[in-house]
């Protein structure tokens, strides 16, 4: 499995563990559900980009945009009620650190 795909899988497990630590609010549940959906989409796009062993510059740009939108959407959800709880902050920090650590890939245009 590609390192980026593995990191996404580990991230999803980490976020689930954070959610299970001491119960979660409805806001946190909604946030995690949205992040999970977005990460599945990102994972599918990354898997597709890697399927031919050639990640084009167009695919990299699309993946960077998706990664950015996941972070922005998560921040919006965390701020929805006007307060970012410590659990929401932990989720955001884990999400951002993990997504940024994924090397989307060197590009090769053919």
* CB 107, CB 56: distance < 8 Å: yes
pLDDT tens per residue across span 37-69: 999 999 999 999 989 888 899 999 999 999 999
Torsional class of 105: left (φ above 0), alpha (ψ -120 to 50), beta (otherwise): left
Question: Based on the structure, what is the number of domains in the chain?
Answer: 1
Residue 78 maps to a domain: yes
Q: Identify the domain containing residue 35 by its residue range.
A: 3-101
Residue 80 maps to a domain: yes
Residue 110 maps to a domain: no
Residue 107 maps to a domain: no
pLDDT value, residue 22: 62
- The tokens describing 45, both together, are 């796009």
pLDDT tens per residue across span 76-97: 999 988 989 888 898 899 899 9
Which distant-in-sequence residues (6+ apart) come within 8 Å of 71 by Cβ? 95, 96, 99
């Amino acid at each position: 499995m590609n390192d980026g795909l593995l990191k996404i899988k580990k991230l999803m497990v980490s976020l689930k563990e954070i959610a299970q630590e001491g119960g979660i609010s409805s806001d946190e549940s909604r946030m995690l559900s949205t992040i999970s959906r977005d990460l599945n989409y990102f994972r599918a796009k990354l898997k597709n980009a890697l399927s031919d062993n050639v990640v084009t510059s167009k695919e990299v740009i699309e993946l960077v945009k998706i990664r950015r939108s996941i972070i922005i959407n998560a921040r919006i959800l965390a701020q929805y009620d006007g307060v970012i709880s410590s659990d929401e902050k932990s989720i955001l920090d884990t999400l951002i650190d993990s997504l940024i650590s994924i090397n989307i890939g060197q590009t090769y245009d053919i």
